Amino acid sequence: MNVNSQIANRILFTGFCERTYYTQELYDFWVDNYADPDVLFKVKIWGKYKMKYKWSDAQTDQWIKENLEESKGFDVNGIWHAYDWGSGENKIKPMNKMHEPNLDHIIPSEQGGDNNPGNLRIRCRRLNENKGNTNSDIERIATICDMIDDIEDAESLQAVQEYINKMKDKI
């Protein structure tokens, strides 16, 4: 079974565990909202990121609302990568880093970026790791060129070319 199917067909852990639901309050939230297809996303943001970044309740609710659609996953060249928002007993194992969501600083912390919700977006772990702390266009171009140089598959190179041509039309 592929990762997308595993995520879609997962049976959620029904017991309380701090690694899975963080707090009794979030566990109770899960119990009350288990049918919500976005409940694990909401639990993860409230349980991990709200505490990590010291967001207020209002900031957390607003960030969830603004990022709900993006929280589902992303498409790369026609291949869907659903995000696995599960923690602890609800996490799909082994996890493919393309399906593991992270919150990415748009302006990296090391370059003065803060932890306010407006500076954070959802990216898969692999893309977030590859981006590193690049923030200037020169660094981005160098990273993209280096990655393109490593592509060996002709169809993948063609897909990159098509994407670049599509982007030209937007400029």
Model pLDDT for residues 9-32, shown as the tens digit of each residue = 999 999 999 999 999 999 999 999
**Pairwise pLDDT comparison (140 vs 159), residue with the higher score:** 159
Same domain, 93 and 53: yes
Number of domains in the chain: 2
Q: Record the tokens describing residue 12, joined without a space.
A: 């959620």
Residue 87 neighbours by CB under 8 Å, 6+ apart? 19, 20, 21, 22, 40, 43, 44, 47, 48
Tell me which DSSP letter residue 46 carries.
Answer: I
* Same domain (yes/no): 128, 143: no
pTM of the model: 0.85
Q: In terms of domains, do 115 and 83 share one?
A: yes
Same domain as 167, residue 103: no
Do residues 127 and 143 share a domain? no
What is the DSSP track for 47-111?
IIIHHHHT--HHHHHHHHHHHTTGGGEEEETTEEEE-----GGGS-SSPPTTS-EEEEESS-GGG
Claim to verify: residue 94 and residue 154 sit in the same structural domain = no
**Same-domain check for residues 164 and 109:** no
Instruction: Kindly state whether residues 8 and 71 are assigned to the same domain.
Output: yes
Helix (H) or strand (E) holding 121: strand 120-124
pLDDT at 139: 74
Same-domain check for residues 103 and 159: no
- Specify whether 95 is located in the same domain as 14: yes
My answer on whether omega of the bond before 101 falls inside 30° of 0, hence cis, is: no
Average pLDDT over residues 27-46: 97
Same-domain pairing of 88 and 162: no
Q: Are residues 147 and 120 in the same domain?
A: no
What's the rounded Cα separation, in Å, for the pair 61 and 64?
5
Rounded distance between C-alpha atoms, residue 40 and residue 33, angstroms: 10
For residues 154 and 39, give the distance between their C-alpha atoms in angstroms, rounded to a whole number. 40
Gap between the Cα atoms of 37 and 25, Å rounded: 19
Which range marks the domain in which residue 142 is found? Answer: 136-171
